[in-house]
């Protein structure tokens, strides 16, 4: 399998701030690649470098074998992008924007466009200024998904969507993968990447700190379980795949690997289970546990996405 | 009351913090221009006979009266020196106050900033009240400072105060007009446009009204800019006229709050109608035209009206050649030789500068689109940077050329009728077309700055203001020649007076092309920024 996206040792500085500090990233052809990281880790900067909107200070970047800085038009004909912060022209309608972006992309599938409008339940006759954040995002998503691109770069595409629409979106992504398209999906939500991705890369402070199939990153997918029980069973800590057990009165909390869930449940059920909550760990939890707190200056890879307004200074 | 106004003080402080440079620089500029004009007048018209001669010439020339108004006391140095400032520069004060008011009302609402603040302890009427406090305060400071500047040159204190209060009251009246327009439209651009159109209408009303014999007719009294003239600072000081703009404020401000109470945050009075479900925009060029065309239409209508009016006044210039002094004055105001030609050349030069301002504003789409994040969406498609920038830049250049062509044709047709000479159309149109290269140079500067130091793109407005000031006052200030030569407008041949200047036009066009090329180079190598 060849790599569609290849970044080696990429450095990007904004003035004195180093947003990307020797980033390596590889996305294989035909995979859905989750690009995970907390806010400000450099996700948006990475995507903008891949699009040739920013110029790297060091390192090499290849997308479909091309240099995204030099071969912009040729490359972008085969690529579709959904920005994280979708800004539309206030007095154009959603339909007009979708068609404009589609034409600039080199044409879109009309039947697919209409089907997507239907699926995302978007009214294309409304002016963009009346759209909510979620609806603006749908405009950009429909425009991108209706094209015949080989590579899709999606920057936190579901951040404004409701759960129902998120589900429709996941369906679209799976469909694209079945057709053999490559998708790079940035997110700060672990569960979203988990639901869609074949592989994930985790970025922290401008560097990719983990990359691989989710099974390989199993240690990252511990579930946080809290249970109220009649009597606390003994020897919970020695069960396989269970970590950080804390017992307080009748309450037990622990971090559990997928393989440890079944034995833990059996033990808890036997102990008379009264209440149970479980939640996937947040990215911040993971980072604190696995990589320690970041010291020194916080990386601000997403400085370019803060939008100042004209004449505000 | 207390409930709806909660937080007004905080908003006023925030507004003044945001505008500390913008407002102080503009206020200083107006005060300095007043001071310059008054000091220059003292040198140009040293004795009474001199003034009477000049004032009578202006009052007798319909073109002058239409453009600037009448000198109501020919013996008064202040009345004569400030003739360009009672109507013409007053309109500029009005434009400034419209922009300031919209900036703190509709612009904040459109961008969502007001929504962010509205989540806090903020009364419903606080934002509008704060905006009016800022623009009324700015008008007052601008007026009083300018009045003080006039008094400092030695003009009578009472007249200086009357003049300053005139500007203050007129600024307040147009702030109130802008506050109303901010309630009616949903976009700041449209609200600004509506305010400027009201200014243009009131200016035209007084131009027509002032032409009536013997004095201003009712039409002048219908115009707030006409009121400012009728205060007659340094020519009797009619203090009571100040009541009129203040009464307009008293009428409009409550109306604004009623309108505000009747609509939602972000909404206008007109309901948003559904638009086309399918788009016909084929590419970035179509998009640039779509984003620029409304402004271009407003400008086109304005230059055609202005051109016809100015052109038809061409005959009146030669009607008043009674004295050598009169001829001398008009030559000074115009340029050379034949008075009609001098007059037309001077007017076309003014239009050249105004149309250059259109070029700057149209080319500024480059930066405003980038800041808004629209450019990011477009560059994510197969559109190259050069192609995108070219769309807005070329649309700006084409707009400039079109506007100058329309200026020439309309002025020429007006002059042809007035002088019964069909050949005027061709000559005057050619004269107007000769203004295009200079306007292109300043338009290209926008692209250059955008390419290399994008955050300074709006500063090109300041550069344009410097060039205008050099053209207006450079000689009076004894500005060094090299400084004067920096302004592209200094190199434009004053047609139809002379015939020389092809070389200068070629050089200006080449300069514009070089600046544009430089701009593209910078734009192609820099990061996208917000």
Mean pLDDT to the nearest integer, B399-404? 96
Contact between A181 and A33 under an 8 Å Cβ cutoff? The reply is no
pLDDT greater than 90 at residue B302: no
Task: Tell me if chain B has a CB within 8 Å of the CB of A293.
Answer: no
Roughly how many angstroms between the first and final C-alpha of chain B, as a whole number? 40
Task: Find, among B313, B299, B303, the residue nearest to B396 by Cα.
Answer: B299
Sheet holding A58-63, edge to edge: A17-28, A3-14, A58-63
CA angle B74, B77, B78 (to 5 degrees): 105
Residues of B in contact with A90 (CB under 8 A): 110, 187
For the stretch B204-236, pLDDT in tens is 889 888 887 767 888 899 999 999 999 999 999
At B316, is the pLDDT very low, low, confident or very high (cuts 50, 70, 90)? low
At A313, is the pLDDT very low, low, confident or very high (cuts 50, 70, 90)? very low
By C-alpha distance, the chain A residue nearest B528 is: A53
Mean pLDDT to the nearest integer, B271-298? 86
For residue B496, cis peptide bond before it (omega within 30 degrees of 0): yes
- Write down the pLDDT at residue B233: 93
By C-alpha distance, the chain A residue nearest B188 is: A90
Number of H helices, E strands in chain B: 28, 0
At B326, is the pLDDT very low, low, confident or very high (cuts 50, 70, 90)? low
Mean pLDDT to the nearest integer, A94-118? 90
Rounded-to-integer distance, Cα B364 and Cα B445, Å:
11
Rounded-to-integer distance, Cα A107 and Cα A128, Å:
22
Averaged pLDDT score across all residues of chain A:
84
For the stretch B124-174, pLDDT in tens is 889 999 999 999 999 999 999 999 999 999 999 999 999 999 999 999 999
Backbone angles phi, psi at A50, to 5 degrees: -65, -20
Rounded-to-integer distance, Cα A200 and Cα A202, Å:
7
Sort A175 into a burial class: Cβ within 10 Å, 0-12 / 13-18 / 19+. Answer: exposed
Share of chain B above pLDDT 70, in %: 93
For the full predicted model, state whether its pTM sits above 0.95.
no
Q: Do B377 and A101 touch (CB under 8 A)?
A: yes
Q: Which two tokens stand for residue B214?
A: 């013997």
Task: Tell me if chain B has a CB within 8 Å of the CB of A308.
Answer: yes
Backbone angles phi, psi at A293, to 5 degrees: -65, 145
Rounded-to-integer distance, Cα A86 and Cα A106, Å:
20
CA distance A84 to chain B (A): 10
Contact between B494 and B422 under an 8 Å Cβ cutoff? The reply is no
Q: Which two tokens stand for residue B216?
A: 């201003």
Q: Do A93 and B22 touch (CB under 8 A)?
A: no
- Write down the pLDDT at residue B41: 86
Burial A181-219, CB ≥16 within 10 A → b, else e: bbbbbbbbbbebbbebbebbbbbbbbbbebbeebeebee
At A125, is the pLDDT very low, low, confident or very high (cuts 50, 70, 90)? very high
pLDDT greater than 80 at residue A162: yes
What is the SS3 assignment for chain A? CCEEEEEEEEEEEECCEEEEEEEEEEEECCCEEEEECCCCCCHHHHHHHHCCCCCCCEEEEEECCECCCCCHHHHHCCEEEECCCCCCCCCCEHHHHHHHHHHHHCCECHHHHHHHHHHHCCCCCCEHHHCCHHHHHHHHHHHHHCECCCEEEEECCCCCCCHHHHHHHHHHHHHHHHCCCEEEEEECCHHHHHHHCCEEEEEECCEEEEEEECCCCHHHCCEEEEEEECCCCCCHHHCCCEEEEEEECCEEEEEECHHHHHHHHHHHHHCCEEEEEEECCCHHHHHHHHHCCCCCCCCCCCHHHCCCCCCCC
Sort B263 into a burial class: Cβ within 10 Å, 0-12 / 13-18 / 19+. Answer: middle
With tokens 């009748």, the residue in question is A250
Three-state secondary structure call for residue B79: helix
Q: Which two tokens stand for residue B200?
A: 């243009």
How is B8-23 classified by DSSP, letter by letter? Answer: HHHHHHHHHHHTHHHH
- Write down the pLDDT at residue A212: 84
Contact between B426 and B412 under an 8 Å Cβ cutoff? The reply is yes
Contact between B424 and B412 under an 8 Å Cβ cutoff? The reply is yes
How is B454-520 classified by DSSP, letter by letter? Answer: GGGGGGHHHHHHHHHHHHHHTTTTT--HHHHHHSGGGGS--TTT----HHHHHHHHHHHHHHHHHHH
Residues of A in contact with B284 (CB under 8 A): 104
Mean pLDDT to the nearest integer, A127-131? 87
- Write down the pLDDT at residue A298: 41
Q: Do B528 and A53 touch (CB under 8 A)?
A: yes
Task: Tell me if chain B has a CB within 8 Å of the CB of A80.
Answer: yes
Rounded-to-integer distance, Cα B285 and Cα B494, Å:
34
Length of chain B in residues, anyone?
530
For the stretch B442-485, pLDDT in tens is 999 999 999 999 999 988 988 998 888 888 777 767 788 888 88
Q: Regarding beta strands A207-213 and A199-204, do their DSSP bridges make them parallel or antiparallel, or are they unpaired?
A: antiparallel
pLDDT greater than 50 at residue A26: yes
For the stretch B103-121, pLDDT in tens is 999 888 888 788 778 777 7
Mean pLDDT to the nearest integer, A202-228? 81
Mean pLDDT to the nearest integer, B38-51? 87
Rounded-to-integer distance, Cα B145 and Cα B38, Å:
14
- Write down the pLDDT at residue B194: 87
Q: Which two tokens stand for residue B248?
A: 């307009």
Residues of A in contact with B451 (CB under 8 A): none
Q: How many CB atoms lie within 10 A of CB A290?
A: 13
- Write down the pLDDT at residue A155: 92
Q: Do B279 and A130 touch (CB under 8 A)?
A: no
- Write down the pLDDT at residue B526: 93
**Nearest CB neighbour to B382, from listed A76, A83, A99:** A76
Q: Which two tokens stand for residue B288?
A: 């640039």
Q: Do B527 and A53 touch (CB under 8 A)?
A: yes
Three-state secondary structure call for residue B52: helix
A 110-169: CB under 8 A from B: 123-127, 129-130, 140
Contact between B450 and B519 under an 8 Å Cβ cutoff? The reply is yes
If one compares B247 and B184, the residue with the highest pLDDT of the two is B247
Averaged pLDDT score across all residues of chain B:
87
Rounded-to-integer distance, Cα A56 and Cα A67, Å:
11
- Write down the pLDDT at residue A307: 37
Task: Tell me if chain B has a CB within 8 Å of the CB of A184.
Answer: no
At B333, is the pLDDT very low, low, confident or very high (cuts 50, 70, 90)? low
Q: How many CB atoms lie within 10 A of CB A162?
A: 9
Q: What is the dihedral of CA B488, B491, B492, B497, to 10 degrees?
A: 150
Q: Do A88 and B377 touch (CB under 8 A)?
A: yes
At B324, is the pLDDT very low, low, confident or very high (cuts 50, 70, 90)? low
Q: Which two tokens stand for residue A267?
A: 């033990």
pLDDT greater than 90 at residue B338: no
Rounded-to-integer distance, Cα A44 and Cα A87, Å:
15
- Write down the pLDDT at residue B403: 96
């Amino acid at each position: 399998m060849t790599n569609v996206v290849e970044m080696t040792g990429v450095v990007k500085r904004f003035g004195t701030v180093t947003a990307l500090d020797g980033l390596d990233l590889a996305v294989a052809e035909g995979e859905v690649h989750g690009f995970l990281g907390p806010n400000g880790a450099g996700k948006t900067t990475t995507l903008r470098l891949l699009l040739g909107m920013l110029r790297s200070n060091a390192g090499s970047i290849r997308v479909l074998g091309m240099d995204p800085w030099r071969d912009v038009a040729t490359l972008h004909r085969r690529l579709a992008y959904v920005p994280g912060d979708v800004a539309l022209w206030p007095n154009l309608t959603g339909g007009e924007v979708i068609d404009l972006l589609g034409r600039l992309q080199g044409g879109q599938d009309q039947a697919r466009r209409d089907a997507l409008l239907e699926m995302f339940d978007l009214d294309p006759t409304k002016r963009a200024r009346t759209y909510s954040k979620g609806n603006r995002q749908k405009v950009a998503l429909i425009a991108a998904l209706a094209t015949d691109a080989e590579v899709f770069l999606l920057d936190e595409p579901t951040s404004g969507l409701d759960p129902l629409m998120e589900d429709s979106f996941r369906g679209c992504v799976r469909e694209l993968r079945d057709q053999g398209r490559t998708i790079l999906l940035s997110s700060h939500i672990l569960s979203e990447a988990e639901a869609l991705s074949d592989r994930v890369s985790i970025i922290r402070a401008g560097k990719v700190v983990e990359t691989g199939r989710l099974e390989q990153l199993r240690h990252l997918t511990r579930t946080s379980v809290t249970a109220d029980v009649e009597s606390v069973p003994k020897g919970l800590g020695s069960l396989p795949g269970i970590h950080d057990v804390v017992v307080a009165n009748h309450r037990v909390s622990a971090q559990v690997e997928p393989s440890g869930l079944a034995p833990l449940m059996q033990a808890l059920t036997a102990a008379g289970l009264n209440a149970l909550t479980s939640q996937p760990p947040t990215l911040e939890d993971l980072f604190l546990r696995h990589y320690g707190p970041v010291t020194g200056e916080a990386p601000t890879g997403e400085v370019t996405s803060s939008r100042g307004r004209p004449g505000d200074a | 009351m207390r409930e709806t106004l909660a937080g007004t003080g905080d908003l006023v402080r925030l507004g003044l913090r945001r505008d500390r440079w913008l407002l102080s620089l503009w206020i200083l500029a107006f005060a300095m221009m007043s001071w310059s004009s008054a000091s220059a007048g003292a040198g140009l018209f040293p004795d009474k006979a001199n003034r009477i001669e000049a004032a009578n010439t202006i009052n007798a020339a319909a073109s002058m009266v239409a453009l600037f108004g009448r000198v109501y006391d020919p013996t008064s140095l202040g009345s004569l020196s400030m003739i360009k400032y009672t109507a013409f520069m007053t309109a500029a004060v009005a434009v400034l106050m419209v922009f300031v008011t919209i900036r703190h009302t509709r612009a904040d609402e459109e961008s969502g900033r007001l929504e962010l603040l509205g989540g806090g302890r903020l009364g419903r009427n606080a934002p509008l009240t704060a905006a009016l406090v800022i623009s009324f305060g700015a008008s007052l400071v601008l007026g009083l400072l300018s009045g003080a500047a006039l008094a400092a040159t030695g003009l009578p204190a009472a007249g200086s105060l009357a003049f300053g209060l005139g500007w203050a009251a007129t600024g307040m009246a147009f702030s109130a007009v802008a506050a109303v327009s901010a309630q009616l439209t949903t976009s700041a651009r449209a609200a600004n446009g509506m305010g400027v159109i009201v200014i243009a209408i009131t200016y035209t009303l007084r131009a027509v009204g002032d032409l009536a014999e013997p004095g201003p007719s009712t039409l002048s009294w219908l115009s707030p800019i006409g009121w400012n003239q009728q205060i007659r600072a340094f020519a009797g000081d009619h203090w009571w006229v100040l009541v009129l703009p203040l009464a307009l404020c008293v009428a409009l401000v409550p109306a604004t709050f009623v309108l505000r109470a009747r609509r939602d945050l972000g909404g206008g009075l007109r309901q948003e109608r559904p638009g086309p479900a399918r788009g016909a925009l084929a590419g970035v060029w179509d998009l640039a035209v779509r984003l620029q065309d409304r402004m271009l239409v407003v400008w086109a209508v304005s230059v055609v009206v202005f051109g016809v009016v100015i052109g038809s006044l061409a005959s009146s210039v030669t009607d008043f050649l009674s004295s050598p002094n009169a001829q001398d004055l008009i030559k000074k105001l115009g340029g050379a030789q034949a008075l009609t030609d001098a007059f037309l050349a001077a007017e076309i030069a003014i239009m050249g500068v105004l149309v250059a301002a259109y070029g700057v504003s149209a080319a500024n789409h480059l930066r405003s689109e980038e800041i808004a994040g629209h450019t990011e969406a477009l560059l994510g498609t197969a559109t190259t940077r050069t192609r995108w920038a070219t769309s807005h830049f070329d649309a700006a250049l084409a707009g400039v050329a079109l506007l100058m062509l329309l200026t020439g044709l309309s002025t020429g047709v007006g002059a042809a009728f007035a002088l019964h000479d069909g050949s005027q159309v061709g000559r005057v149109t050619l004269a107007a077309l000769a203004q295009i290269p200079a306007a292109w140079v300043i338009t290209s500067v926008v692209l250059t700055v955008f390419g290399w130091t994008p955050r300074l793109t709006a500063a090109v407005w300041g550069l344009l203001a410097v060039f205008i000031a050099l053209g207006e006052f450079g000689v009076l200030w004894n500005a060094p020649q090299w400084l004067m030569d920096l302004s592209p407008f200094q190199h434009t041949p004053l047609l139809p007076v002379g015939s020389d200047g092809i070389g200068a036009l070629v050089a200006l066009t080449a300069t514009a092309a070089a600046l544009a090329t430089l701009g593209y180079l910078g734009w192609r190598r820099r990061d996208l920024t917000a």
